[in-house]
């Protein structure tokens, strides 16, 4: 038995190594080829040669032709660059695989690379290094050509050099300093708005230490670019005026710039086939796929009411593929609803599954054919089938109308809509209305169109509601129109938001509301990602394992005001995810590149994301203030963050943290009673946090209990009458009042090293895995240890007490000095009476163990 499993493991490892070897071989060939080129380049080609050629070319061109000569040089360089494509990431394909086998393969590969293939890692090869990296021969040649053209002030050459240094196009190593220099050069040369935007972006972020962060300059360059009609820049300064970044808040400016983008967005959305463009949604939060920044169940996005709304790829829920598989199974069993859903999924597509119109059509047809025969006659009257078949008919008609996945045909579209409309299908009604409104293949008849829209709108069909609103708007009935737009806006319809924005902005039929207008314009602008956002590129880079490129791309979207991007940037920069993460335990794990180690930036983006009401980010912000990451530790601010997040009653984490700071008296008065209240609320907010909260409560009870029976100074848990409690509150209070030196006990015991980076919440995911029985035994062991300790403690206390007395005699009445305000004290100077938290289970030989078990130290 044992032998057998051992052999199995060996077999697996061997297999892994084989696969790894082959995979590495393939990729290393590219790598070697590149290396070889650069080696050969050294011998047969030098930069001087190249410069000579260029000079000669220029001389040949003569003085008059030097401008076109430079352009020619750029063409030449581009021709050389064209074949150079960046090598794919070595780990592509392994990164995304899940399950035991995938993980094994991934780490086997990592181990293999570490042990046997200790060449320069690819990351170093792509990243800027202190020593200037060698360029491959064609690349060096092209760069020399471009540099000579740039000397001639050829804008295309400067731009290309800047882009290559910034994005790493054509395998050029990234150098943000050089990129900034080039963009800046071009921006000053001809006011190119793309270059101005990039200069603004780099001033805003100080990316890679290329330049000192300067929000005023960032605003200036972005404003120039925006005036040059650069969409990203327009959005950026719209956002900056909206939230007051580097400038006072200015609603009118924000509305103005967001309107510029919204106008372009709506124009794009209205272009295309009848019914408008399909808007691709690329924005998503990386953290959400993993259950949120605090992990599954602890974060707002994956707990409480949101638990069932987590992303399709979330661990807690069925995998998207599983859903597909399940639907497929049901569909095969003849479940028409499943077949229809499959059609819908393929028609709409998602981030992980591209649209597939052919397959969608096949599913819809299957459903429709169950009800209608080829000639349109009905097979059998069945209300259930009729309804779902009509829905399918609506989709089939729509695909004919828009020419999606089949040849465009008004006639066929009409046939299908007429079939579906008999059964009162909302989509068919809307589409028929649309055809009559614009006279598509039918007589133009706005009145009839209005009737169809009305029917459809009554069934809460958003597009029809928008059209109803538009019809009323044309007639000047703003109130009714607004009502319809509001209805459609509930479904997130872009046209509805645009109309609402226009109505608010122009103050039609009501007072102008700049704030509303800006909010609506922002939604419209952000809905059309394809015209201005870098989400698609960012996602691809992230999936390829190129975290640096992904970070930069997300940052660009974040600067434009996308909350999702801000959360992503912060998440990627966040080094304090989990102290117990696997990464920190694996010795060969690559260190994060310097670009990714920037707590200041991380805090900036957590803050921006939190301001756009991301509650998890708000809690994170609190963590950064508490731990002093990227900023001086400010416990009051941390508490404010937790408090704000807790007020929404969605974040169990925030409540737990509040409980924690009250339990340990960090920045606030130590108060076990209040701490328990917060822990209880955390439990109420999120049932999934049962285990960690119960653990904290148990520990708190023990501390509180000890505090009470040792006559400690901290407000103990009072409300719940505990069987073992032998001190009433009034008794406790009277003892408290009698004590002449309430703040002076055991000061020397509290010199606790607080460099320990552990944060509340960072380690509790660990406890999710413990099951109840283990928990029970842990508690029992804990109690046993506590009792053993009590004996020891008694002796210690007596010794301490004696020493105390001696010292008090020596120092006189020093006791009062320690009294101070509870708020805003640095952790090193914590009030002596406060207890330190030694973690859940400090080791027994730890000097802090005593205090931890003991509760009220010194007495
Ligand atoms: C900026 O300059 C580059 C290179 O000349 C050009 O390709 C790009 O279109 C320019 N951008 C704008 C917005 O004019
Ligand atoms: C360089 O690459 C980036 C990112 O892939 C792309 O957006 C940009 O258009 C490229 N620039 C040029 C000049 O090809
Ligand atoms: C990046 O470019 C700057 C000049 O703009 C240069 O001084 C520096 O050495 C370059 N760094 C690398 C790693 O190539």
Q: Whose CA is nearest to atom 5 of ligand 1?
A: 156
pLDDT at residue 699 tops 60: yes
Cβ–ligand 3 distance for 181 under 6 Å, the answer yes
Query: If you average pLDDT over residues 215-219, what whole number do you get?
Result: 94
Number of structural domains found in the chain: 1
Query: If you average pLDDT over residues 364-373, what whole number do you get?
Result: 92
Structure tokens at 852: 């931890």
Ligand 2 centre distance from Cα of residue 165 (Å): 10
Crossing angle of helices 66-81 and 137-151, in 10° steps, is 160
Which-ligand-closest: CA of 226?
1
Q: Which atom of ligand 3 is nearest to the CA of 130?
A: 13
Structure tokens at 548: 């640096």
Cβ–ligand 3 distance for 589 under 6 Å, the answer no
Ligand 1 centre distance from Cα of residue 533 (Å): 18
Residue 631 within a domain: no
Residue 93 within a domain: yes
In the chain, what percentage of residues exceed pLDDT 90?
37
Under a CB-based contact definition with an 8 Å cutoff, are residues 285 and 291 in contact? no
pLDDT at residue 351 tops 70: yes
Q: What is the pLDDT of residue 310?
A: 43
Reported confidence tier of residue 628, pLDDT bands at 50, 70, 90? confident
Q: Any idea what the Cα angle at residue 567 is, between residues 566 and 570, rounded to 5°?
A: 85
Query: If you average pLDDT over residues 616-620, what whole number do you get?
Result: 90
Under a CB-based contact definition with an 8 Å cutoff, are residues 549 and 171 in contact? no
Which-ligand-closest: CA of 127?
3
Cβ–ligand 3 distance for 175 under 6 Å, the answer yes
Which-ligand-closest: CA of 182?
3
In this predicted model, what pLDDT tens digit does every residue of 261-305 receive, in sequence order?
999 999 999 998 888 888 888 888 888 877 777 776 677 766 655
Ligand 1 centre distance from Cα of residue 231 (Å): 14
Burial 407-439 (b: 16+ CB within 10 A, else e): eeeeebbbbbbebbbebebbbbbbbbbbbbbee
pLDDT at residue 847 tops 90: no
Q: Whose CA is nearest to atom 6 of ligand 3?
A: 178
Q: What is the pLDDT of residue 463?
A: 94
Structure tokens at 771: 């099951």
- Range(s) of the domain holding residue 12: 2-264
Ligand 1 centre distance from Cα of residue 238 (Å): 22
Question: Cβ–Cβ contacts within 10 Å for residue 239, how many?
Answer: 25
Which-ligand-closest: CA of 166?
2
Residue 232 within a domain: yes
More confident residue, 110 or 429: 429
Cβ–ligand 3 distance for 129 under 6 Å, the answer yes
Which-ligand-closest: CA of 159?
1
Q: What is the DSSP string of 670-704?
A: -BHHHHHHHHHHHHHH-GGGHHHHHHHHHHHHHHH
Ligand 3 centre distance from Cα of residue 594 (Å): 16
In this predicted model, what pLDDT tens digit does every residue of 641-680 receive, in sequence order?
998 888 877 788 888 888 888 888 887 888 888 888 888 8
Reported confidence tier of residue 804, pLDDT bands at 50, 70, 90? low
Q: What is the pLDDT of residue 680?
A: 85
Nearest-angstrom CA–CA distance, 392 and 148:
62
Residue 224 within a domain: yes
pLDDT at residue 43 tops 60: no
Ligand 2 centre distance from Cα of residue 160 (Å): 9
pLDDT at residue 186 tops 90: yes
pLDDT at residue 562 tops 90: yes
pLDDT at residue 500 tops 50: yes
pLDDT at residue 541 tops 80: yes
Question: Which of 77, 154, 163, 179 is the pocket-test mutation for ligand 2 (most atoms within 8 Å of CB)?
Answer: 163
Q: What is the pLDDT of residue 9?
A: 45
Which-ligand-closest: CA of 160?
2
Residue 42 within a domain: yes
Which CATH number belongs to the domain containing residue 136 in this structure?
1.25.40.10
Nearest-angstrom CA–CA distance, 691 and 779:
13
How many residues would you count in the chain?
859
Residue 252 within a domain: yes
Q: Whose CA is nearest to atom 2 of ligand 3?
A: 178
Mean pLDDT of the chain: 75
Nearest-angstrom CA–CA distance, 374 and 626:
70
Question: Which of 79, 167, 201 is the pocket-test mutation for ligand 2 (most atoms within 8 Å of CB)?
Answer: 167
Under a CB-based contact definition with an 8 Å cutoff, are residues 50 and 141 in contact? yes
Ligand 3 centre distance from Cα of residue 802 (Å): 67
Reported confidence tier of residue 411, pLDDT bands at 50, 70, 90? very high
Query: pTM here?
Result: 0.71
Reported confidence tier of residue 366, pLDDT bands at 50, 70, 90? very high
Query: If you average pLDDT over residues 740-758, what whole number do you get?
Result: 35
More confident residue, 328 or 820: 328
When mean pLDDT is compared across 78-92, 399-413, 446-460, 638-652, the lowest value belongs to 78-92
Question: Which of 132, 161, 182 is the pocket-test mutation for ligand 3 (most atoms within 8 Å of CB)?
Answer: 132
Under a CB-based contact definition with an 8 Å cutoff, are residues 456 and 471 in contact? no
Cβ–ligand 1 distance for 561 under 6 Å, the answer no
Ligand 1 centre distance from Cα of residue 192 (Å): 6
pLDDT at residue 32 tops 50: no
Ligand 3 centre distance from Cα of residue 716 (Å): 61
Q: Which atom of ligand 3 is nearest to the CA of 128?
A: 13
Reported confidence tier of residue 237, pLDDT bands at 50, 70, 90? very high
Nearest-angstrom CA–CA distance, 126 and 199:
22
Residue 708 within a domain: no
Closest CA to 394 of 448, 443, 452: 452
Question: Which ranges constitute the DSSP H helices of 154-250?
Answer: 155-167, 176-190, 193-205, 215-227, 231-243
Ligand 1 centre distance from Cα of residue 75 (Å): 15
Cβ–ligand 3 distance for 128 under 6 Å, the answer yes
Ligand 3 centre distance from Cα of residue 214 (Å): 21
Q: What is the pLDDT of residue 284?
A: 85
pLDDT at residue 498 tops 80: yes
More confident residue, 375 or 804: 375
Ligand 1 centre distance from Cα of residue 282 (Å): 26
Under a CB-based contact definition with an 8 Å cutoff, are residues 835 and 714 in contact? yes
Cβ–ligand 3 distance for 491 under 6 Å, the answer no
Structure tokens at 481: 């129109």
Reported confidence tier of residue 813, pLDDT bands at 50, 70, 90? very low
In this predicted model, what pLDDT tens digit does every residue of 709-748 receive, in sequence order?
777 777 777 655 444 444 555 555 555 444 444 333 333 3
When mean pLDDT is compared across 308-317, 380-389, 460-469, 560-569, the lowest value belongs to 308-317
Which-ligand-closest: CA of 186?
1
Reported confidence tier of residue 315, pLDDT bands at 50, 70, 90? very low
CB-facing half-sphere around the CA of 693: CA atoms within 13 A: 26
Ligand 2 centre distance from Cα of residue 569 (Å): 20
Residue 97 within a domain: yes
Q: What is the pLDDT of residue 143?
A: 93
| 266 contacts: CB under 8 Å, gap ≥ 6 | 494, 495, 498, 524, 528
């Amino acid at each position: 038995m044992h032998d057998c499993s051992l052999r199995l493991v060996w077999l697996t490892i061997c297999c892994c190594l084989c696969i790894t070897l082959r995979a590495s071989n393939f990729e290393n060939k590219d790598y070697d080829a590149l290396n070889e080129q650069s080696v050969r380049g050294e011998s047969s080609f030098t930069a001087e040669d190249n410069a000579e050629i260029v000079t000669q070319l220029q001389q040949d061109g003569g003085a008059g032709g030097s401008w076109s000569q430079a352009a020619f040089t750029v063409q030449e360089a581009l021709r050389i660059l064209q074949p150079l494509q960046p090598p794919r990431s070595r780990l592509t394909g392994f990164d995304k695989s899940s399950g035991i086998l995938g993980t094994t393969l991934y780490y086997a590969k990592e181990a293999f690379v570490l042990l046997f293939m200790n060449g320069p890692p690819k990351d170093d090869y792509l990243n800027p290094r202190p020593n200037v990296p060698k360029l491959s021969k064609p690349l060096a040649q092209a760069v020399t050509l471009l540099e000579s053209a740039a000397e001639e002030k050829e804008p295309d050459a400067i731009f290309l050099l800047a882009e290559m240094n910034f994005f790493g196009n054509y395998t050029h190593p990234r150098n943000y300093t050089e990129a900034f220099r080039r963009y800046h050069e071009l921006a000053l040369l001809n006011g190119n708005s793309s270059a101005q935007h990039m200069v603004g972006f780099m001033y805003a972020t100080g990316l890679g230490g290329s330049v000192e962060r300067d929000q005023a300059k960032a605003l200036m360059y972005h404003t120039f670019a925006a005036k040059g009609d650069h969409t990203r820049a327009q959005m950026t300064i719209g956002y900056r005026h909206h939230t007051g970044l580097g400038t006072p808040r200015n609603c009118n400016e924000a509305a103005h710039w967001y309107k510029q983008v919204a106008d372009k967005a709506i124009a794009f959305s209205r272009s295309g086939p009848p019914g408008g463009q399909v808007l691709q949604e690329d924005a998503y939060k990386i953290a959400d796929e993993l259950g949120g920044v605090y992990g599954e169940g602890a974060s707002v996005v994956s707990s409480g009411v949101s638990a069932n709304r987590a992303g399709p790829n979330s661990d807690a829920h069925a995998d998207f593929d599983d859903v597909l598989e399940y639907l497929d199974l049901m569909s095969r069993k003849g479940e028409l609803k499943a077949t229809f859903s499959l059609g819908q999924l393929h028609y709409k597509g998602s981030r992980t599954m591209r649209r597939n119109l052919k397959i969608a059509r096949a599913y819809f047809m299957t459903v429709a054919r169950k009800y209608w025969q080829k000639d349109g006659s009905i097979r059998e009257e069945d209300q259930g089938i009729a309804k779902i078949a009509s829905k399918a008919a609506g989709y089939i008609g729509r695909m004919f109308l828009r020419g999606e996945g089949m040849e465009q045909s008004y006639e066929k579209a009409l046939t299908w809509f007429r079939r579906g409309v008999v059964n009162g299908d909302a989509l068919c009604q809307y589409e028929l209305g649309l055809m009559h409104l614009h006279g598509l293949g039918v007589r133009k008849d706005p009145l009839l169109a209005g009737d169809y829209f009305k029917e459809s709108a009554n069934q809460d069909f958003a597009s029809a509601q928008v059209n109803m609103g538009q019809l009323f708007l044309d007639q000047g009935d703003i109130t009714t129109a607004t009502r319809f737009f509001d209805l459609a806006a509930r479904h997130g319809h872009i046209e509805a938001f645009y109309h609402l924005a226009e109505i608010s902005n122009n103050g039609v039929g009501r007072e102008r509301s700049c704030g509303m207008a800006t909010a609506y314009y922002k939604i419209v602008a952000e809905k059309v990602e394809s015209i201005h956002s870098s989400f698609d590129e960012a996602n691809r880079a992230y999936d390829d394992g190129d975290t640096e490129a992904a970070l930069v791309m997300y940052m660009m979207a974040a600067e434009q005001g996308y909350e999702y991007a801000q959360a992503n940037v912060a998440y990627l920069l966040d080094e304090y995810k989990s102290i117990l993460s696997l990464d920190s335990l694996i010795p060969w794990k690559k260190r994060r590149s310097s670009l990714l180690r920037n707590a200041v930036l991380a805090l900036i983006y957590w803050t921006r994301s939190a301001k756009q009401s991301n509650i998890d980010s708000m809690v994170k912000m609190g963590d950064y203030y508490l731990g002093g990451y990227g900023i001086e530790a400010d416990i009051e601010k941390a508490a404010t963050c937790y408090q704000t997040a807790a007020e929404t009653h969605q974040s169990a984490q925030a409540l737990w943290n509040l409980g924690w700071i009250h339990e340990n008296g960090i920045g606030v008065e130590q108060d076990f009673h209040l701490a328990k209240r917060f822990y209880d609320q955390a439990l109420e907010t999120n049932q999934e946090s049962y285990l960690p909260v119960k653990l904290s409560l148990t520990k708190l009870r023990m501390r509180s209990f000890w505090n009470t029976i040792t006559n400690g100074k901290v407000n103990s848990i009072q409300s719940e009458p505990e069987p073992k409690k032998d001190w009433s509150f009034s008794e406790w209070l009277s003892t408290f009042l009698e004590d002449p030196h309430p703040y002076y006990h055991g000061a020397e015991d509290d010199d606790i090293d607080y460099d320990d980076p552990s944060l509340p919440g960072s380690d509790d995911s660990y406890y999710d895995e413990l099951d109840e029985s283990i928990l029970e035994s842990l508690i029992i062991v804990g109690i046993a240890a506590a009792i053993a300790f009590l004996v020891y403690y008694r002796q210690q206390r007596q010794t301490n007490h004696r020493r105390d007395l001696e010292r008090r005699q020596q120092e006189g009445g020093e006791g009062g000095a320690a009294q101070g305000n509870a708020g805003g004290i640095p952790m090193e100077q914590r009030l002596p009476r406060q207890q330190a938290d030694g973690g859940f289970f400090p080791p027994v030989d730890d000097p802090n163990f005593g205090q931890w078990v003991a509760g009220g130290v010194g007495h």
